[in-house]
Amino acid sequence: MRHGPETRPVPPPDPSPDPADRLSARETFHIEILGAPARTEADPVLSRVSVRVEDQAGAEERALRLFARARVPQRAGEPAEAVRVIDGAGREVFFRSRFDEGA
């Protein structure tokens, strides 16, 4: 008597007690370093960086580090005037200029 292949039930995957333990929720933010707005240029963006971080505070911290690096005297090119953070939906969620306290 001929039988087909033997089928065995597949056990379900071992669920973790908390799904957050398996996957980390990370968001994408876009950091833009801005130069002085020139009358000939419509876009004063000197550089853009996309980052994936846990929350907005992490993006702000990264933005401030990039802004400080862009303002060092040894850097060639136009000095940075401001930095902004844009969330994944395209909304500006953080802005700091060189005139702000602690910039």
Q: Return the number of other C-beta atoms located less than 10 Å from residue 93's C-beta.
A: 13
pTM, two decimals, is 0.70
- pLDDT per position as a tens digit, 51-61: 999 999 999 99
Q: What is the pLDDT, as a whole number, of residue 3? A: 60
pLDDT, residue 49, reads 95
Residue 80 · residue 69 · CB < 8 Å: no
